[in-house]
């Protein structure tokens, strides 16, 4: 959903789509080694947080816990199917979105992320995933974002499909759709950027920050 790999604002999208009309073979969506995926996931947040976080890695059947953390945060490399269902990059196998969720976000965002991965890798079409997501919200299997939920996306090594690279380091807040106006996003000189992913996802409020997770300065 996160993205984390959600649709970025139009000004940072790539001109050429790399998405596929349907999901291709599973292998390109996987990383070559568990160690590499753990390192990429941890790069989403400052080491003081990521070193003590739970880390998930993707297998052919879905995400599994590779490292059990102690601070309540969960770091993961998201794939393209966390984007909105109408996104042209929904099946882009190059997508890698390192994200590290705080404890409130793990209550609502992680369960949806885990289920979406199972559906995607299990062979469901985009349309079937959308229908199941609607039912999951109706049954309260998927829930609105918990108050205070946010994620770090500070990795300089990610590949966000619309930007063909890591975009800018940012903190991403998960909010109910009807609260967008409270954040004054997308206004002149406002530092907050809203991404409305539709009624079956948390709305994202992104706040760019000046440094990557390793402390090095980011481009302005």
pLDDT value at position 15? 46
State the Cα–Cα distance between residues 152 and 110, nearest whole angstrom.
14
pLDDT value at position 198? 85
Q: At what angle do helices 126-138 and 103-121 cross, to 10 degrees?
A: 140
The whole domain housing 152 covers 18-208
pLDDT value at position 3? 40
pLDDT value at position 16? 54
The model's pLDDT over 68-122, given as tens digits with 9 standing for 90+, comes to 999 999 999 999 999 889 888 999 999 999 999 999 999 999 999 999 999 999 9
The domain tally of the chain equals 1
State the Cα–Cα distance between residues 170 and 179, nearest whole angstrom.
20
* Residue 181 falls inside a structural domain: yes
Residue among 116, 206, 133, 120 at smallest CA distance from 170: 206
Query: What is the value of pTM for the model shown?
Result: 0.90
pLDDT value at position 71? 99
pLDDT value at position 42? 99
Give the residue ranges of the chain where pLDDT is below 70.
1-19, 161-164
* Residue 1 falls inside a structural domain: no
pLDDT value at position 79? 96
pLDDT value at position 21? 83
The H-assigned helical ranges of the chain are 34-42, 47-50, 103-121, 126-138
Q: In what order do the strands lie in the sheet with 62-67?
A: 62-67, 54-59, 74-78, 97-101, 150-153, 170-175, 203-208, 193-195
* Residue 217 falls inside a structural domain: no
């Amino acid at each position: 959903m996160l993205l984390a790999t959600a649709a970025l604002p139009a000004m940072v999208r790539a001109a050429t789509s790399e998405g596929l009309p349907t999901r291709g073979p599973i292998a390109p969506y996987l990383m070559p080694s568990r160690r590499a995926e753990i390192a990429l996931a941890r790069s989403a947040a400052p080491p003081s947080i990521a070193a003590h976080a739970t880390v998930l890695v993707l297998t052919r059947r879905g995400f599994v816990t590779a490292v059990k953390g102690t601070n309540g945060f969960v770091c993961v490399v998201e794939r393209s199917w966390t984007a909105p269902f109408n996104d042209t990059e929904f099946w882009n196998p190059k997508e890698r979105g390192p994200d590290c969720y705080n404890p409130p976000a793990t209550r609502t965002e992680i369960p949806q992320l885990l289920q979406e991965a199972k559906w995607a890798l299990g062979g469901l079409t985009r349309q079937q995933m959308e229908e199941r997501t609607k039912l999951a919200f109706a049954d309260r299997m998927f829930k609105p974002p918990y108050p205070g939920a946010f994620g770090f996306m500070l990795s300089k090594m990610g590949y966000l499909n619309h930007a063909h690279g890591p975009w800018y380091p940012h903190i991403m807040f998960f909010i109910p759709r009807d609260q967008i106006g409270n954040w004054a996003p997308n206004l002149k000189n406002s530092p907050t950027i809203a991404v409305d992913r539709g009624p079956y996802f948390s709305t994202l409020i992104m706040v760019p920050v000046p440094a990557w997770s390793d402390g090095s300065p980011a481009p302005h």
